[in-house]
């Protein structure tokens, strides 16, 4: 995949969200994610809390390395992630890069 | 604190939520938590994502040890926890014990 080979880039304060057409195009590279107006969302299911937590540990490591942090919701065997670039008020290429990198780390239960 | 010295107990399938009066009484022992109809909720704030994650690691360890798992929401420097006993369809003493144990592990940023 192309996006998963990229790294998130620092954004200045005047950063803008990418146009919707471009977002739709990038979303085709991360087809498991739901494209919302200002976010990318995906739910993962695991065997139990321990597996969910193991996945969140990986996500946290990627987030710190990329300095881009998803919202993370853990409910026992389910992990819900929401990606958005708050500084830009919507989606940037960084969100799609992070989605692709997270999917690389995901091993289905 | 009394509750933080207890451990969560296994519940059978016919378990019932505790009466609201009893819940209100127990809630006095964990005053930082918001008592809802079927849950106990608390938000914690930290310096950054790394501190949030460190706290969630502790919460996860307690949850696994007690075999009782809160819903966990991480948004950068904020961690929101919601405790409920799904098997009982509401709050049991276990939720208050878990709240007290989690607060013991919490060190304000």
Question: Between A53, A63, A69, which is nearest B60 by CB?
Answer: A53
Q: Where are the domains of chain B?
A: 17-105
Q: Taking a C-beta distance cutoff of 8 angstroms, is the pair A15, A9 a contact?
A: no
Mutation target among A59, A76, A79, A86 for the B interface, most CBs of B within 10 A: A76
ipTM over cut 0.85: yes
The answer to whether the CB atoms of B53 and A76 lie below 8 A apart is no
A1, pLDDT greater than 70: no
B53, pLDDT greater than 60: yes
The answer to whether the CB atoms of A49 and B72 lie below 8 A apart is no
Model confidence at A106, in pLDDT bands (50, 70, 90)? confident
What residues of chain A have any CB closer than 8 angstroms to a CB in chain B? 49-50, 53, 56, 60, 63-64, 69, 71-76
Angle between helices A49-66 and A93-105 (to 10 degrees): 140
Pick the CATH number of B17-105 from 3.30.460.80, 3.40.50.300, 3.30.70.580, 3.30.1360.20: 3.30.1360.20
CB atoms under 10 Å from CB of B81, counted, come to 22
């Amino acid at each position: 995949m192309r996006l998963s080979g990229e790294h998130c880039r620092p954004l200045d304060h005047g950063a803008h969200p990418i146009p919707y057409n471009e977002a739709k195009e990038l979303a085709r590279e991360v087809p498991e994610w739901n494209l919302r107006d200002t976010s990318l969302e995906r739910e993962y299911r695991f065997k139990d809390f321990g597996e969910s937590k193991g996945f969140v540990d990986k996500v946290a490591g990627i987030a710190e390395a990329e300095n881009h942090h998803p919202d993370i919701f853990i409910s026992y065997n389910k992990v819900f992630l929401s990606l958005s670039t708050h500084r830009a008020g919507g989606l940037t290429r960084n969100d799609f890069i992070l989605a692709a990198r997270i999917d690389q780390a995901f091993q289905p239960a």
